[in-house]
Amino acid sequence: MRIVAPVSRVAEIEPLAQAGASEFYCGLVPPDWLGRFHAINANRRPSGNLTRYEDLARAIDIAHAHEATVSLVLNAQHYSAAQIGAAEDIAGRFAALGGDALIVSDLGLLHALALRFPALRMHVSSVATCRNAGAARLCRELGAQRLILPRDVTLAEAASIAAEVPDIEIEAFVLNDGCIFEEGACHTIHLPGQLGGPICLDRFEYRYRRRDGGAVSPRLAARLQQNDAEYERWLWYRFSCGFSTTPEGLPYGPCGLCAVPVLRRGRVAAIKIAGREAPTARKLASVRMVRSVLERVRAGEDDAAVRAFAVGLRPSESHCATGYMCYYPEVLRVEGR
Amino acid sequence: MNAPELAVAACHALDLAWTAAATAERAEHWQRLHGDAELATWLAPLQPTHLYFGSEFCEHLLPSARALREALSQAKSAGLRLVLLTPVASPEVLAQLDVLLPTLPAGSEVVVNDWGVAHELASRFGDLRPVAGRVLCRMTKDPRIDAGWAGRCGHGLAAPTMHALFSRLGIRRLEIDVPLFADEEVFADLPLPAAVHLPYVYVAKGRMCRAGSLSVTGTERFAVGRRCQKECLRFSALASRPGRADVAASVQLGNTFFSRHSAAMASSLRQAVDSKRVARLVVPGAPL
C-alpha cells in the first residue's frame, strides 16, 4: 500500500519522501494557459499548481532520486475542444521529462492520452466519479492502470470494486479536505471568499416548504431546525474542525486512518492525502501520521490497536467519537460490535 | 426537426390523465405545478410524449421492479414512452439495474449519469438506448456568478474525445441544462440531439443528503449512501443568500441543489426551440 501525497512546491518533495510518501501528485498551469483560455486552472484547483516546466522537471528528478513517482493532474471538470489539445501538449511535455503518471478526470481525454503516451500510466481522477465495477472496467478498457475512488464511497464498496476488477489498482482517500457535494457532480466554481467561497460553505439561508403546498407543521419545523444545527456541526468537522490543527500542526479530518487496515485487506493499492493547496507543514504532518499508522498495520497489529493509536495521534478521542470527522464512519460501527 | 418532444419527469406514480387533456387544461396544470403563467402558456400546446421515470440524482429513488412495471403500464395507457432515469451508481445500484433493465421494452431509452451504467448498457443490454444524462454532460452552472464569469461556463461536449467516448458507448442523445449566460447560438455546437431540462438547472449533487439525514442518528448521520425516509418527496428548501443580489432562485431538493431559470435563460431556451436546436424538453411532473 503506497502513500500518495500532494505537492505544490519543488522543495516539498524531499522532506515528504523522507517522511514516507512514495508517490506525489501535482498540477501545472503553463504561463500561456490563462491568456489562451481566460481560465486560471488547467486542472481542478485554481492554486497550488507549479507554473514552470523547469520546476516539474526538478520535481521528477528529486522524486526519482528517492524512488518515488510523480503524477501530473489534468482533472478539470471538463475541457473544451481547444483545451483538449493544450492538455495533450502538457501531457507530452510531462512524458518527455520522464514523468510517471497522469491523473485524468475526462474519460475521453484519458483514452486519447493512453493511446498517445503508452509509456505513461493513466490514473482516473476522483473527479471522474467512477465508483462501481462497471465504471472500473470501462476505465481499464480505456487504458487506465488505476482508479482513484471519489470520497463518497464506503469501505465495502471500495473492496467490492477491487475484488471485481482486479486488473486495475484502486486508490482511496485517507486524509484531509472534505467535499459536501460529489466533486465530479458539482458544477460550481470555488469563488473567492468575498463572493461566497465554495457553494457548500456559502451562507445560504434555508426556508423549508412542503412540496404539496401544505404548511410545514411546527413539529416538522422543529425537527428540521435541529437537523440544520446538527448539519452545521457536521460541516465544521467535514472541513477539518474549522480548518484547524493541533498545536503540533497535525490536521484534523476528514480522516480515514482507522480504516487503513480494512482498506488494505480490501486490496486498496494506494491511499491519498488530499490538499495540494495546503501549507508544507500540514502535508508533512499528514504523511507522518499516515506512515505511522501504516507501519503498525504492516507489522500486524490488530484493528483495535491501530485505531487506538490513530485516535491518540492528535489526540482526538472526542472528535473521533462523533463519526463526523471520518471518511469511513462505518469503522466505528464495525468495532462497536 | 419539428416541435420538440415533451417529457414529464417523476420518481413515483403520477396521475397522467391531464397529458391528453385540452391545451387550456394542460396550461392550468403547468401553472399549478411551476407557478409561471408564461411558461405554462408556452408548454401547453405541446402534448407530452415521454414519461421520465426514476432519478438522475439519488440511488434511493431508483424504482423497484414492481413500480417500474406499473409505470410502464401507466405510460402505455397514456400514450407515453417511458424513459428510465438512473443516478450515479454505487455497486448496489448496478445490482438493482440488473433486475430493472431486462423489464424495459427493446428500444427503450435509459438516461445514464454514470460511466459504469453506460458501460453495462453497452456491453450487456444492446437493445436499450443509453442517453448521456446531466451529470455526465458537465457545464459550470453556479447560480451565484455574474456575466463576468461567462467565459468559465462552457462545456466539453463538443470535444472530439468526448464524442469518441459517446460513440464507443452507443450514446446517441444527451441531456443538458440551459447555460447561465446563453446567447442566440445556445446548443448550436452540441454533437448529438439534446433534451433540455426546465425550468430548473441542476447545480450540484451530493451522495450525502442533508434532508435525508433527518431520521438518522449516531455516528453515521450525514454519511454517504445511508438509508433515508425519502424526505425529499415531501419537502424542499428555498435557499437564498441574504445581502446578495442573486438573480436566480435556488432550491435544495434532497441531495441536489437547483436554480430556477432567469428570464434571460427562459428566453434563450425559447429561441433555441424556435430555431429547432432542441429535440426534447423535460419538465418535472411535480413542484420542486
Q: How confident is the model at residue A337 (pLDDT cuts 50, 70, 90)?
A: very low
In DSSP notation, B200-257 reads EEEEEE-SS-TGGGTT--GGGTT-TT-----GGGTEEEEEE-TT---SS-EEEETTEE
Q: How confident is the model at residue A49 (pLDDT cuts 50, 70, 90)?
A: confident
Residue appearing with cell numbers 473521533: A320
Q: For residue A100, give how far its alpha carbon lies from the nearest alpha carbon of chain B (Å).
A: 22
Nearest CA in chain B to A206: B239
Quote the CA–CA distance of B185 and B180 in Å, as a whole number: 13
Q: What's the whole-number mean pLDDT along residues A290-298? A: 98
Q: Which among B90, B149, B210 has the least Cβ separation from residue A231?
A: B210
HSE at residue B247, side-chain half, CA atoms within 13 A, is 14
What pLDDT is stored for residue A80 in this prediction? 87
Q: Is A73 an interface residue toward B (CB < 8 Å)?
A: no
| CB neighbour list of residue A90: distance below 8 Å, 6 or more residues apart | A28, A30, A42, A72, A74
Q: Does B238 contact A330 at a Cβ distance shorter than 8 Å? A: no
A70 has pLDDT over 50: yes
pTM value is: 0.96
Outline where A148-269 has alpha helix (H).
155-164, 218-238, 240-243, 260-265
What pLDDT is stored for residue A41 in this prediction? 62
| pLDDT tens profile B187-220 | 998 999 999 999 999 999 999 999 999 999 999 9
Q: What's the whole-number mean pLDDT along residues B134-150? A: 92
Q: Domain B5-200+261-284: state its class.
A: alpha beta
What pLDDT is stored for residue A334 in this prediction? 61
Q: Is B17 an interface residue toward A (CB < 8 Å)?
A: no
A149 has pLDDT over 80: yes
B163 has pLDDT over 70: yes
* Cell (9 digits) for A276: 495540494
Q: What's the whole-number mean pLDDT along residues B241-250? A: 90
ipTM over 0.90: yes
Q: Is B124 an interface residue toward A (CB < 8 Å)?
A: no
Lowest mean pLDDT among A131-140, A189-198, B62-71: A189-198
| CB neighbour list of residue B25: distance below 8 Å, 6 or more residues apart | B18
Q: Is A285 an interface residue toward B (CB < 8 Å)?
A: no
What integer best gives the mean pLDDT of chain A?
93
Quote the CA–CA distance of A241 and A68 in Å, as a whole number: 31
Quote the CA–CA distance of A117 and B32 in Å, as a whole number: 56
Has domain A2-178+253-336 been given CATH number 3.20.20.70? yes
Q: What is the CA radius of gyration of chain B?
A: 18
Q: How, if at all, do strands A121-124 and A2-6 pair?
A: unpaired
Q: How confident is the model at residue B56 (pLDDT cuts 50, 70, 90)?
A: very high
HSE at residue A128, side-chain half, CA atoms within 13 A, is 28
| pLDDT tens profile A206-229 | 999 999 999 999 999 999 999 999
Is residue A33 within 8 Å of A94, Cβ to Cβ?
no
The structural domains of chain B, with segments of one domain joined by +, span 5-200+261-284
Q: Which residue, among A194, A188, A177, A199, has the nearest Cα to A283 in the 3D structure?
A: A177
Q: Which among A39, A185, A203 has the least Cβ separation from residue B88?
A: A185
Q: For residue B120, give how far its alpha carbon lies from the nearest alpha carbon of chain A (Å).
A: 6
Q: Which among B91, B116, B237 has the least Cβ separation from residue A160?
A: B91
The gap between the terminal CA atoms of chain A, to the nearest Å, is: 27
Three-state helix/strand/coil letters over B56-70: CCCHHHCCCHHHHHH
Q: Which residue, among A244, A264, A267, has the nearest Cα to A256 in the 3D structure?
A: A264
Q: Is the dihedral of CA A280, A72, A292, A11 positive or negative?
A: negative
Quote the CA–CA distance of A107 and B246 in Å, as a whole number: 34
Q: Is B216 an interface residue toward A (CB < 8 Å)?
A: no
What pLDDT is stored for residue A40 in this prediction? 54
Q: Is A45 left (phi over 0), alpha (psi -120 to 50) or beta?
A: beta
The gap between the terminal CA atoms of chain B, to the nearest Å, is: 30
Lowest mean pLDDT among A75-89, A170-184, B86-100, B210-224: A75-89
| pLDDT tens profile A97-131 | 999 999 999 999 999 999 999 999 999 999 999 99
For residues B40, B45, B48 and B49, what is the CA-based torsion angle, rounded to 10 degrees?
-150
Lowest mean pLDDT among A122-131, B67-76, B144-153: B144-153
A48 has pLDDT over 80: no
Lowest mean pLDDT among A298-302, A311-315, B253-257: A311-315
B109 has pLDDT over 50: yes
Residue A298's Cβ-count burial label (10 Å; 0-12, 13-18, 19+) is exposed
Lowest mean pLDDT among A33-37, A40-44, B181-185: A40-44
Which of A88, A138, A232, A233 would best serve as a mutation to test chain B binding (most B beta carbons within 10 A)?
A: A138
What pLDDT is stored for residue A81 in this prediction? 86
Q: For residue B246, give how far its alpha carbon lies from the nearest alpha carbon of chain A (Å).
A: 11
Q: Is A145 an interface residue toward B (CB < 8 Å)?
A: no
For residues B99, B105, B109 and B114, what is the CA-based torsion angle, rounded to 10 degrees?
10
What pLDDT is stored for residue A200 in this prediction? 93
Q: Which among A131, A161, A195 has the least Cβ separation from residue B144?
A: A195
Q: For residue A142, give how far its alpha carbon lies from the nearest alpha carbon of chain B (Å).
A: 9
Please give the residue that has the higher pLDDT: either B149 or B229. B229
